Amino acid sequence: MRITKIIIYQTNIPLKFPFKIALGTSITAENIFVKIETDQGIHGWGEGSPYTPVVGETQKSCIAVAHDIARFLLGKDPLNIKEIAAGLERIFPFNPTARSAFDIALYDILGKTANLPLYRLLGGQERDLFTDYTIGLGTPEDMAEKVEVAVYEGFSIIKIKLGTTIGDDTQRIHSVYNAIKDGVLLRIDANQGWDKVEAVKFLKAIENLPMQFCEQPVPARDLAGMRYIRTKVVIPIMADESLFNTRDAVTLFFNGICDYFNIKLAKTGGLTEAIKLVSMAETLDIPCMVGCMNETRLGLMAAAHLAMAFPIIRFIDLDSALMHSIDPIVGGIKYIKGQVLVPDDPGLGVDVDSEFLDDLERVKVE
């Protein structure tokens, strides 16, 4: 089997409402779709969702790099995924999101070739996945109102974006707590917004709340600060922006920096490195979360397959598509009261609506 054609789509999907975190505000999901075609009539879909403050990439940079990646891939065997991934990381080391779109598409082809859903091909089996619902930064009243709606719709896990001043964040978390019902769990994500002293003060003050963990309380490079926080509080600390690959995981683990890993395909460069990272987490007994940037159900589908295949992924954060004003994906995951249902179709189990694609700018390489 050989790769004969690649199409790169510029994909802009407006959000239902502005989504604000400590690193900035998003109003549109500015992603790329990649379709890889082969000489045996099998094609694969992938998606890259760059978030510039984290990965240093933009939609435009992803498209430019994707053009070069496509030329690199033409004529290659799409099932030779490990060698391709190694080559792409060597040539494009600072473009994980662009690489991720192609890597995901190759696994889609692999699953279709084997006529198996990807999670089965990875050795997984059916299991229940429950995602959180993320509440962006806003006034305490606005965030509480959004929480009430999410809980009413059946979500039992709520993720709260924080990372501003301790005073404002304290008002937000207590307003949110007053809006939840018994049995609803909370997660908080500061997106690097605090310093270590502020983080300890805040986390100690909320230890009595039903809190699962705190994500990335301090800047990604402040590993000493994150280790300091971990030694001072009982709420578990999760690494997100500090963790891209297995090299980062080794540093985090052996220096006692965090309790949990947050794995996102846009950071790892796709499924190949993510599989290595989760396998390492299994060995080290580090519970993981699979998270998202601003993917549609196409990109989320790849992450869901990863979660199905590895029980060490105990936390699911795959809700970005619920914030999109349109859904161009055919097939794929479904949501029922916070549960993520993964179909058993071969490969990723998704396609993209042809009418939606007709209106997109694209680059063809063949």
Tokens of 175: 């307003």
User: CA-CA distance, 123 to 51, in Å (whole number)?
Assistant: 31
β-pairing verdict for 237-239 and 211-215? parallel
366 is catalytic: no
CB 3 within 8 A of CB 19: no
Of these residues, 35, 112, 146, 161, which one is catalytic? 161
Angle at which helices 297-309 and 271-284 pack, to 10 degrees? 30
Catalytic residue among 215, 295, 319, 345: 215
The residues near 38 (Cβ < 8 Å, ≥ 6 apart) are: 1, 2, 3, 4, 78, 109
* C-alpha separations of 207 from 163, 192, 203, 204, 217 in Å: 17, 20, 6, 5, 15
Strands 157-161 and 185-189: parallel
Spatial separation of the C-alpha atoms in residues 158 and 34, rounded to whole Å: 32
Residue among 47, 103, 240, 248 flagged as catalytic: 240
> E strand or H helix at 25, and its extent?
strand 24-38
Catalytic-residue membership of 161: yes
Q: How many angstroms separate the CA atoms of 26 and 8, rounded?
A: 23
DSSP state of 46: E
Take residue 356 and report the two structure tokens written for it. Answer: 């939606």
Q: Which of 47, 108, 169, 189 is catalytic?
A: 189
Residues in Cβ contact with 327 at an 8 Å cutoff, skipping those fewer than 6 apart: 296, 297, 321
Q: Give the position of tokens 């690199």.
A: 72
Residue 240 appears among annotated catalytic residues? yes
| Catalytic annotation, residues | 161, 189, 215, 240, 264
